Structure 1
Amino acid sequence: MTMTDTTTFPDPIYQDTVLGPLFDHARSDHAEGFRRIDRAHLVMLERTGILPRDVAATIARALAEIDRQIDPAGLIYTGEVEDYFFLREAELKARVGADVGGRLHTARSRNDIDHTLFKMSLKARIDVLSGQGRALLGALIDTASRERDTLIVAYTHGQPAQPTTFGHYLSAAIEVLIRDLARLEEARAIADQCSMGAAAITTSGFPIDRGMMADLLGFAGAQRNSYGCIAAVDYITATYGAVELLFLHLGRLIQDFQVWSSFEVGQIHVPNSFVQISSIMPQKRNPVPIEHMRHLASQTVGRARMIKDIMHNTPFTDMNDSEGETQAAGYGAFASGGRVLRLLAAFVPALRIDGRKVARTIDQACITITELADTLVRREGLSFRQAHEIAADTARAVTSAGESLASAGYVPFSASFRETMGRDTAMTLDDFVLAVSPAHFVRVRDRFGGPAAAPMDEALSAYHAALAGFETAARAHADRDTAARAALESAFGALMETH
């Protein structure tokens, strides 16, 4: 039996199961963040007088040399240092000596460094996902505009209910997506508060400038409470909560496309570019991308929910539960979610409504009958309940005979009206045909939020405005980050030029 050496750190099993994977996550996901934080912290230390300029210049030149000479992607964890942070510190000390090299860590801790790294990484991923979400939003708005007047069957409880338009249906999904993107933006705002300067827990006795650090790293500002900087994980839960809801909601839309593209329903036609064939059944048209979008959306929901569950019942303090491996595990949600957004943004504009199947379902299911009842209330002065009974009688008669409501409904309608009201209806055959027309059904529903042209045009205008607002915010985020990077590189470059 081989005994494990318990006197030397790290234990080989601990190295293989924990330290090595953490090192790999740090070098692959956060190397650029470490580089920016080291440089920003050095600039802040020099500008506040905590480090003399000549010392800061020596460190700056060494940091630049490390970044030139060491490729994080090629590093292999050996156990010689605890983690990627200590590797960078060891490389710095090897170049300038332990005394000078150790001064870079003045007034900071791995606690505030780590949470700042995670926030920087989450912000970048949120920005990518939000951009993909905006592309989907634009595609949905364009398609809803194109299909503003295209009739479809709206379903409730899995059954044909009323006619509406594809544009009106997509508009409902657009509004949910707008709210989801707003939630993602709100989560980003929480992550946009910099933790640097909190140090281990309580800030520092050195005259640090936390606002300067936030500016140099492209944050909106410094997170106020230093304990919260290293203990609060709401920037994580808010982010993954927003991601979870985004793909939970999109999954419902995708599921409708699955049903609507079935042979029995056939309401939407999926073009050949999104159809796979069977290996044995030549007649099959399989809209397989829908299945991929659905299960990828579900995977994204599961990954996002997992991160929130990991945070449950953990101590309100700095802890590994919210750090390296949890962060790395969560990034998978952005990867799978991004695939859904990109595919859906290409898929929806390619869809076309099969007007013949829509018309057949409308006719067979008598789904315009509600408007017949409404018309009786307005034109004949009936109560809605009386009108509803006459309309129901008409629908039952037509359905049982297998006839068309528009072509064969007037006779049973007239008979039911006479039996119920004790008089003949004033509606002519032409009046009846108009009342049960799906185009008329949509046209008269011109209230705020309805499917008629006027409310749809107003809604589409509002959606364009919402998209423009998201685009403006995205440009502001990008501009601030670009300016911060330029300011940091300028300040850092000036340090290196000091002699």
Structure 2
Amino acid sequence: MTMTDPRLADTSRFPDPVYTETVLRPLFDGAKDHHVESFRRIDRAHLVMLAETGILSAEQASAIAGALVSIDAELDVPALTYTGEVEDFFFLIEKELKKRIGPHIGGRLHTARSRNDIDHTLFKLGLKERIDVLLGEALGLLEALVAAVEREKSTLIVAYTHGQPAQPSTLGHYLAAVTEVMVRDIERLEAARAIVDLSPMGAAAITTSGFPIDRVRMAQLLGFSAPLNNSYSCIAGVDYTTATYSAIELMFLHLGRPIQDLQFWTSFEVGQIYVPNALVQISSIMPQKRNPVPIEHLRHLSSQTMGRARAMLDIMHNTPFTDMNDSEGESQGFGYGAFASGGRVLRLLATLVAQIRVDPARVRANIAKSCITITELADSLVREAGLSFRQAHEIAAHVARKVVAVGGSLEEGYGPFREAFAEHTGREADIGEDAFRRIVSPEHFIAVRARLGGPAPEALDASLSLYTQALAGFRDRAAARAAREAAAAAELAQRFSALSGGQ
């Protein structure tokens, strides 16, 4: 029996129609939709670098530059339909170059580079742009939070633990906690951007090139802070992707928690937070019902953002440490959805934070019913009556039980206090009724908690100063990055224009 080598019998031609529809066309459309401008920048920067290093002559570089200008002018990219004539968008541009200036010159633009380093540079340019937008939206929320901390720093609320009233605090103090987490989340996103901001160009397929390329110059022309050092890492180390989506996942996981609190605090039974009419929808059948549905949208959009970001990490998990399609076009496009939904959350939450208000009557009523200032009664008995904390705690617990049993208010509980004090100490209390009322008032509770990070005005003002400094630092660094990249874009345009004869 004769065995035929299948390679000799194979008369099929690339691309298979099903492969075209399931892989090549979606990839082409993704590049067309997301990466055209970045392709253009990479081609122009690479051409400038090849000319500056002498790898291409001035005449060759000028011819290629002119052809690139004509391609930009004549190619209607949005109208392009994938035909299968070329494998992908990169080869389409190369085909157009060869058509205009011939393969001998047109084929020289690809000297000392590969689709490997081009692709990762494309993805990094796309991520930097999206990270900058998300950072701007995050700073908008941070600014709204800082303003709300200032506005509400004396506004009483009930603070909950385990779903139950725990202690009085202020809305400003609560939002300050949210602000601190937000600051750390922005720092994580900034750190991820710094990883993205390292250029892979010049790595070529894996090991750089025998040509005297200038990787530092390529990084400068493309607006990167520096080249990524190891060339293998340039095409294999997709930690720029995982760092970005890890930061996004954490940011929206963390935001989902105060969003859930807002849902609880706006419930009819709690009623601690009032949402204005502009952010409330009325039931279609129950006209008395005010539904603060923006909070629900914030919750599910935060979860969607977190889920999309986590999915990106799952896609990268257990992939080989090399250049691979798992981390490339379609995965990158999938991840962009996290930026879209995340931006919606940040903008809407900033608007909500700026407009919510506390219902002081409901807060007062809930404080009174729940005896949540009782901790300060125990503390004051230690400080002012010389009792041990455990003895003071037992007296305070006795008072709370008596007051709650009759549905009363702690401020009216001086009688039960005198009884409990005498029972547990064997002597009369030397704290009078006026002093007792002061001790168990929520204002006193807040005022004496002036330690670092506490809700008292002086402590909260010190925290506010830190948040304001952090916000200013974020804005300064964002402005510096934007200025550096704008300068790089201007230099690239000038250098390319010189090659193309001002076209």
Report what 2:487 is aligned to. Answer: 483
Asked if 1:454 corresponds to 2:458, the answer is: yes
Q: Could you list the per-position Cα deviations for residues 73-104 of structure 1 after superposition, in whole angstroms to 9, with x for gaps in the alignment?
A: 22111111100111111111111101100000
Q: Distance in 1 between matches of 2:26 and 2:258?
A: 38
The amino acid across from 1:73 in the alignment is P
Check conservation: 1:364, 1:403, Cα contact below 8 A: yes
Report what 2:234 is aligned to. Answer: 229
Q: How does 1:217-256 map to 2 (within 5 A)?
A: 217-256=222-261
Q: Could you list the per-position Cα deviations for residues 193-222 of structure 1 after superposition, in whole angstroms to 9, with x for gaps in the alignment?
A: 000000000000000000000000000000
The amino acid across from 2:36 in the alignment is A
Q: Distance in 1 between matches of 2:484 and 2:33?
A: 25
TM-score by length of 2: 0.97
Check conservation: 1:54, 1:498, Cα contact below 8 A: no
Report what 2:6 is aligned to. Answer: none
Q: Distance in 2 between matches of 1:39 and 1:448?
A: 55
Q: Distance in 1 between matches of 2:227 and 2:440?
A: 62
Match of 2:264 among 245, 256, 259: 259
Report what 2:7 is aligned to. Answer: none
Asked if 1:83 corresponds to 2:88, the answer is: yes
Report SS of the residue matched to 2:166: strand
Give the Å deviation of 1:161.
0.2
Match of 1:340 among 332, 345, 350: 345
Asked if 1:423 corresponds to 2:415, the answer is: no
Q: How does 1:315-464 map to 2 (within 5 A)?
A: 315-407=320-412, 409-464=413-468
Match of 1:147 among 144, 152, 161: 152
TM-score by length of 1: 0.98
The amino acid across from 1:187 in the alignment is A
Q: How does 1:17-416 map to 2 (within 5 A)?
A: 17-407=22-412, 409-416=413-420
* Structure 2 spans left out of the alignment, 5+ residues: 1-9
Count of aligned positions: 494
Query: Which stretch of the first structure deviates more once superposed, 242-251 or 5-14?
Result: 5-14
The amino acid across from 2:177 in the alignment is A
- How big is the alpha-carbon RMSD for the aligned residues of Structure 1 and Structure 2? 1.0
The amino acid across from 1:129 in the alignment is L
Give the Å deviation of 1:6.
6.4
Check conservation: 1:56, 1:495, Cα contact below 8 A: yes
Q: Could you list the per-position Cα deviations for residues 314-348 of structure 1 after superposition, in whole angstroms to 9, with x for gaps in the alignment?
A: 00000000000000000000000000000001111
Q: Distance in 2 between matches of 1:484 and 1:15?
A: 38
Q: Could you list the per-position Cα deviations for residues 406-432 of structure 1 after superposition, in whole angstroms to 9, with x for gaps in the alignment?
A: 02x100111010000000111000010
Q: Could you list the per-position Cα deviations for residues 289-334 of structure 1 after superposition, in whole angstroms to 9, with x for gaps in the alignment?
A: 0000100000000000000000000000000000000000000000
Report SS of the residue matched to 1:263: coil
Q: Distance in 2 between matches of 1:235 and 1:383?
A: 56
The amino acid across from 1:134 in the alignment is L
Moved over 6 A (4+): none
Check conservation: 1:293, 1:344, Cα contact below 8 A: yes
Q: Distance in 1 between matches of 2:14 and 2:352?
A: 54
* Structure 1 spans left out of the alignment, 5+ residues: none
Give the Å deviation of 1:68.
1.2
Report SS of the residue matched to 2:291: coil
Distance 1:498 1:271, change over 3 A: closer
Q: Distance in 1 between matches of 2:136 and 2:446?
A: 34
Report what 2:476 is aligned to. Answer: 472
Give the Å deviation of 1:71.
2.7
Q: Distance in 1 between matches of 2:213 and 2:364?
A: 71
Give the Å deviation of 1:251.
0.5
Distance 1:361 1:6, change over 3 A: farther
